Chain A
Amino acid sequence: MDYTFTFLGLDIPIIPVAWMLAKIVVVFAGVMGLSAVLTWAERKGAALIQDRIGPNRAKFIGNFRLFGIFHLAGDGLKLIFKEDLVPGHVSRWLFWIAPLLAFIPAMMGFAIVPFGQSFEWRDFTFHLSVIDPENGMGMLYPLAIAALAVYGIFTASWASNNKFSMLSGMRGAAHMVSYEIGLSLAVIAVFMQAGHYDPHRIIEAQTGLWNVFAQPVGFLVFLVCAFAETNRLPFDFAEGESEIVAGFLTEFSGMKLGFLWLSEYIHLVTISALMATLYFGGWKIPFMPDPVGLLSNWLGPWIGPWLGVLLSIAAFAAKLLAFCWFFIWVRWTLPRFRYDQLMFIGWKVMLPIGFANLLFYAWLIHRAAA
């Protein structure tokens, strides 16, 4: 069977291209949908923790309420149809571009994460991550994208041109750059343990023992820095609504505000996915190192592989959702730090611990090799 067709003089292999398009659509829709649902989960979770009922009024067709999940549609519609107010004192061009600068890097991060086990069909190998493995960029890619996340906050705050927003931008820039160092140090220890920096290899290296048990201290450093990187409580200094109004969000309204909000939740999804990949074995299921192979042996070559792939995707999704819930849980449990405490934790606690962790594993690996 011929798998290529010619278009504008180019031979295009149908199956890899179609697979790539399908992956892009699924990942884009999945991340967008999940982050939208998370806005509802945040409100419902807050209500749960504070012993309230939370959103429960929106109805859909008759009396169908479903725990108020239709508030989600209501929120979205409200944001879209609200008047798009551009205050007179803002930097107009940057004011328009800031929500995009927040949104685009947030969307890009997930592309490297493998969300299921790779499988073979006919002569092709299908990888369940938008960027195929062995690309040479590996886990450096999400770090690079995370480094860009700060521009959204920074541009939004500067474009807003008021004191509170400006303060928020400077806080955000300072703490995100500080905590990125701790984050990178924790990730480097994982690279050394796995002997590679490709996410597929890192997951493969966690067969039998997840990195969270192999490197508990590194995981703690990563977790704390992840909270800082996503601007979530107890580190939401850029927003800080009790201190600086709403920080960089103050002047925004309508769908611009929507994009800035949404990008926060997309960051949350991405960092949860990274945590699952780096420390919790990605799509791996405990005591089942190779679901596709195992189920193929049990159920035969027809249903087995597909069920195996679905099972691995479900395992990944379960870990991802657990971390998303953890972020919401912490947000409504812990109060915000003081600013000097934030800097103290970043530079004098997380950085030395990250370094010590790195050196310890370097020493272990050196001793094992000698």
Chain B
Amino acid sequence: MFLAFALITLGAAFALFMQRNAVQAGLCMMLSFFGVAGLFLLLSNPVAAALQVIIYSGAITILVLFVVMLLQSHQEEPAARPGLVQKILSAVLVAVLALGAIKLVFSSSALANMPLEPPNKELMTLHKLGEQLFSEHIVALEAVGLLLLSAMVAAVILVKKEAQ
């Protein structure tokens, strides 16, 4: 099951970059988010899975697609073809970075100390999520609330200016 969901996530993410068509790429993005939701389910966290589907697959992707559709008429000039040197250079750079990242992960002490069995197989519920949010993570929650409020006020001001 893990392999299936991981393959869906990675395959869709790969297809997202290979697609030339912006809307098809958006649909691939949705599929990739779906794979992540499946992984959350396997971690016995159905709440996170549901929220992932509601917010990422449902709302965010559709907003991205909406903007793509709005900008349909606007044709951008095609990007210049990358030269051979650029291609080789970027491939080498990516390979080195990826190797470094993998090495870092494998040599970290956190991985060595990680237990093979998941610490608790209890099902995550909305109740537990709420308790956690309002006790342990209360500062982060308030900070996010403030951030979202300021973003919303800023958006309203921007729109108001345009109207005047």
- Tell me if B46 and A137 are in contact (CB < 8 A): yes
1/0 contact trace for A165-183 toward B, CB 8 Å? 0100110011001001000
Contact A148 B24 (CB under 8 A): no
> What residue of chain B has the Cβ atom nearest to residue A197's Cβ?
B126
> Smallest distance from the beta carbon of B56 to chain A beta carbons, Å?
10
Query: Which candidate, A139-147, A203-211, A235-243, is the interface stretch facing chain B?
Result: A139-147
Q: Mark A141-164, 1 if CB is under 8 A from B, else 0.
A: 101110110110011001000000
Chain A residues, CB < 8 A from B126 = 138, 140, 191, 197
The answer on a CB contact under 8 Å between B58 and A144 is yes
Give complex CA distance A154, B58 in Å.
12
Is A147 a contact partner of B57 (Cβ separation < 8 A)?
yes
A250 beta carbon closer than 8 Å to chain B: no
B24 touches A93 (CB 8 A): yes
Residues in B neighbouring A173, C-beta threshold 8 A: 62, 65-66, 69
Set of chain A residues within 8 Å of B53, measured between Cβ atoms: 144-145, 147-148
Cross-chain contact of B66 among A144, A145, A170 (Cβ < 8 A): A170
Q: A151 to B27, Cβ gap below 8 A?
A: yes
Q: A136-B47, A166-B69, A170-B70 are in contact. Are A143 and B23 (CB under 8 A)?
A: no
Residues of B within 8 A of A138 (CB): 126
Interface majority SS on A: helix, strand, loop or mixed?
A: helix
A180-B69 contact given A91-B21, A136-B123, A137-B49, CB 8 Å threshold = no
- Chain A positions within 8 Å of B66 at CB level: 170, 173-174
**B93-120 interface with A by 8 A CB criterion:** none
Q: From residue 46 to 71 of chain B, which have CB atoms closer than 8 A to chain A?
A: 46-47, 49-51, 53-54, 57-59, 62-63, 65-66, 69-70
> Within 8 Å of chain A (Cβ to Cβ): is B72?
yes
Partner of B50 from A137, A166, A177 at Cβ < 8 Å: A137
B124 part of interface (Cβ distance < 8 Å): yes
Question: Which residue on B lies nearest to A191, using beta carbons?
Answer: B126
Contacts A93-B24, A154-B65 given; indicate if A177 touches B46 (C-beta within 8 A).
no
Closest Cβ neighbor of B52 among chain A residues: A144
Bound complex: CA A180 to CA B27 (Å) = 20
Q: How far is the CB of B152 from chain A (nearest CB, A)?
A: 12
**Residue in A134, A147, A150, A177 whose Cβ sees the most chain B Cβ within 10 Å:** A147
The reply to whether the CB of A135 lies closer than 8 angstroms to some CB of chain B is yes
A140 touches B54 (CB 8 A): yes
Q: In the complex, which of the residues A93, A137, A141, A151 contacts B62, with contact meaning CB atoms closer than 8 Å?
A: A151
**CB distance A135 to B59 under 8 Å?**
no
Collect the chain A residues with CB atoms within 8 Å of residue B45's CB. 136
Bound Cα distance from A154 to B124, whole angstroms? 33
Task: Determine the residue in chain B with the shortest Cβ distance to A198.
Answer: B125
Provide the residues of chain B in CB contact with A135, threshold 8 Å.
46, 123
Contact of A147 among B24, B27, B47, B59 (CB under 8 A): B59
Interface residues on A, range: 20 to 34
CB closest residue in chain B, given A150: B62
For A166, list chain B residues within 8 Å (CB): 69, 72
Docked complex Cα distance between A110 and B109 (Å): 46
- Chain B residues near A94: list those with CB within 8 A: 23-24, 27
The answer on a CB contact under 8 Å between B54 and A144 is yes
- Asked if B36 is at the interface (CB within 8 A of a chain A CB), the reply is no
Which of chain A's residues have a CB closer than 8 A to the CB of B123? 134-136
B39 close to chain A: CB less than 8 A: no
B30 within 8 A of partner (CB): yes
A137, chain B: closest CB distance, angstroms: 4
With a cutoff of 8 Å between Cβ atoms, the chain B residues found around residue A154 in the complex are 62, 65
CB proximity to B under 8 Å, residues A225-276: none
Per the bound structure, the CA–CA distance linking A195 and B44 in Å amounts to 22
List the A side residues contacting B58 at CB < 8 Å.
144, 147-148, 150, 177, 180
Given contacts A145-B53, A177-B58, 12 further A-B contacts (CB under 8 A): A140-B50, A140-B51, A144-B50, A144-B54, A147-B58, A148-B58, A151-B30, A151-B62, A154-B65, A166-B72, A170-B66, A177-B59
Instruction: Please name 24 pairs of A and B residues whose Cβ atoms are closer than 8 Å in the assembled complex, sorted by A.
Output: A91-B23, A94-B24, A137-B46, A137-B49, A140-B46, A140-B50, A140-B51, A141-B50, A143-B50, A144-B50, A144-B53, A144-B57, A148-B53, A150-B62, A154-B62, A155-B23, A158-B69, A173-B62, A174-B66, A177-B58, A177-B59, A177-B62, A191-B126, A197-B126
| 3 A-B pairs closest in CB distance | A147-B58, A140-B50, A136-B46
